A and B are shown apart, each in its own frame.
Chain A
Amino acid sequence: MLNISTKTPTGGFSFENTRRNAVLEANLSEKGYSAPNARKTGTTIAGLIFKDGVILGADTRATDDMVVADKNCMKIHYISLSETFFTLPGVAADADVTTQMMSSNVELHSLSTGRPPLVAMVTRQLKQMLFRYQGHIGSSLIVGGVDVNGPQLYSIYPHGSYDKLPFLTMGSGAASAISVFEDRYKPNMELEEAKQLVRDAITAGIFCDLGSGSNVDLCVITDKTVDYLRGYDQPVQKGMRGGTYRYKPGTTAVLTKTVTPLPLDVVDESVQVMDTE
């Protein structure tokens, strides 16, 4: 008897291949190989509230286990025109898709309410989505922006918890960056001082953490403007060679010279005409 599916297809995730993948991975690991990993962005990201708004900073290295997969990837993503930006460590693909979906959702929501979006709204939608998928979507994020309630900064973890604080860091380099913040943060700082502080925090992460590196990206959000300073600082420049390492001809003295001619006999001679019309 034919057993044909009578259900209408629905959208969303399909778990059809999970068993097959589990069996494949088990077989591979028996032989000593490992399945390819998702590309993560072990990272340092930081956010800070200053007098007129929010500054978000991030490094630009994406790693694939122990190999640098992307030297200059963009970790600060924009959510909505007026204010909020994201920054993200975690699995790179998850982060990208999450950002795009959130940006569409925020736009739809603000169109349907007729008001500019709030940072708290973005945070709530994100944490509800991340909780729904129980941490299988591996992206932790910092959301920052300026709305009618003033400048705000939230951090969200992959399982759905969140924090609202005046300065935040996340990622593998978070410990180094937060130590810089704890030392020098003051409320209501000026723009240049705040930019310097975030830059110093990210640089601490770049130097003290293997998963972060390359350049520092900054994003300054105030209630009137959004300034995305990509490549604000490059603390790690590639070294320049001090001199040339070529030797001059004649540096090595020749002591003796022997010439041995090889006797060769002509065995066969044939002429092949090329077709050159």
Chain B
Amino acid sequence: MNTRGLRSQLKDSVPVTGLCPQAGPYGVQDSLRRGFSSVKNELLPSHPLELSEKNFQLNQDKMNFNTLRNIQGLHAPLKLQMEYRAARQIQRLPFLPSSNLALDTLRGSDDTIGFEDILNDPVQSEMMGDPHIMTEYKLGVL
């Protein structure tokens, strides 16, 4: 397995203290979007739903896998997580948006519509990550 690529996968889980770093894109305080810098701003979420929405999919999965483990035994969540991991690796180049069709089908979210499909659609996002930086991050070189 490519151990250098493993670091980029570990980096993507969301710790609480890393919630809202005050620096904007150039390392300077982004007053317009984040307000004045203070310790409280950095530690607490700005909206009561922010944390819960960020981790919603992760928490749903955890709950479902736990229930599945209790009902069917350890093999069921293990097999499913193996399939999820495989499906998650089917992506386009790191800076292009992927449809995640296989992952959606596994999750069952291909026949539901939620706010993540209507608002802030990544396909129509106005900003794109810098291709070089994104590829370096993906390969673990950054």
Measuring CB to CB, which residues of chain A are less than 8 angstroms from any residue of chain B? 1-20, 22-23, 97, 101, 104-105, 108-109, 111-112, 129, 132-134, 136
Q: Tell me which residues across on chain A come within 8 A of B142, comparing CB atoms.
A: 6
Q: Tell me which residues across on chain B come within 8 A of A10, comparing CB atoms.
A: 116, 120, 122
- Say whether A15 contacts B119, CB under 8 Å: no
The binding surface of chain B is classed by DSSP as loop
- Say whether B23 contacts A20, CB under 8 Å: no
For chain B, the count of residues having a C-beta within 8 Å of the partner chain is 44
Give bound CA distance, A175 to B125, whole Å: 47
Q: Tell me which residues across on chain A come within 8 A of B85, comparing CB atoms.
A: none
Give bound CA distance, A2 to B52, whole Å: 29
Cβ distance A2 to chain B, nearest Cβ, rounded Å: 7
Q: Which of A2, A10, A136 has the most chain B CB atoms inside 10 A of its CB? A: A10
Given contacts A3-B23, A15-B49, contact A101 B118 (CB under 8 A): yes
Cβ distance B102 to chain A, nearest Cβ, rounded Å: 16
Given contacts A12-B53, A13-B53, A109-B111, contact A5 B120 (CB under 8 A): no
Apart from A6-B142, A108-B112, A133-B49: 19 A-B pairs, beta carbons within 8 A:
A2-B25, A2-B26, A4-B129, A4-B133, A6-B134, A9-B120, A10-B120, A11-B115, A11-B121, A12-B115, A14-B119, A15-B46, A15-B49, A18-B50, A19-B34, A19-B46, A101-B114, A101-B118, A132-B52
Q: Which of A4, A9, A23, A108 has the most chain B CB atoms inside 10 A of its CB? A: A9
Cβ distance A133 to chain B, nearest Cβ, rounded Å: 6
Asked if B33 is at the interface of the complex by the 8 Å CB criterion, the answer is: yes
- Say whether B130 contacts A4, CB under 8 Å: yes
Which residue in chain B gives the minimum CB-CB distance to A134?
Answer: B49
Which residue in chain A gives the minimum CB-CB distance to B108?
Answer: A112
Which of A4, A7, A134, A136 is the one whose CB lies under 8 Å from B12? Answer: A7
